[in-house]
Amino acid sequence: DSGVTQTPKHLITATGQRVTLRCSPRSGDLSVYWYQQSLDQGLQFLIQYYNGEERAKGNILERFSAQQFPDLHSELNLSSLELGDSALYFCASSAGDVDTQYFGPGTRLTVL
């Protein structure tokens, strides 16, 4: 158990809908990262927050947004969902912004 928690474990929704994925980092970790894992693309970095502020952006679509709250948990919002958004979404956390990343168990999103 990495200490990173993610909810929900599974999410099934329809195209055009909006969902929110939640992540709680390990105790004391200030950085949160979001990744998308699909069969054809592998693990793709989406975005990083450090102590509430956006630190880096990867291949995150404009339909996706994230934030990190004062208690350091983070949410990833996915809107106008498309079939191609079906994937595993992982959250990772690290103590600072240059430290080892620890991954959560992931949220499996299925868009029908």
Partner 1 sequence: QKEVEQDPGPLSVPEGAIVSLNCTYSNSAFQYFMWYRQYSRKGPELLMYTYSSGNKEDGRFTAQVDKSSKYISLFIRDSQPSDSATYLCAMNPWGTGANNLFFGTGTRLTVIP
Helix (H, G, I), strand (E, B) or coil at 83: helix
Of 84 and 96, which CB lies nearer to partner 1 in the complex structure?
96
Min dist. Cβ of residue 27 to partner 1 (A)? 16
| Residue 73 CB neighbour total at 10 angstroms | 15
Q: Which residues bind partner 1 (CB under 8 A)?
A: 2, 4, 31, 33, 35, 41-45, 48, 55-56, 58, 90, 92, 94-106
- Asked if 34 and 22 touch (Cβ cutoff 8 Å), the reply is no
Of 42 and 70, which CB lies nearer to partner 1 in the complex structure?
42
The encoded tokens of residue 38 equal 């699909």
Min dist. Cβ of residue 90 to partner 1 (A)? 6
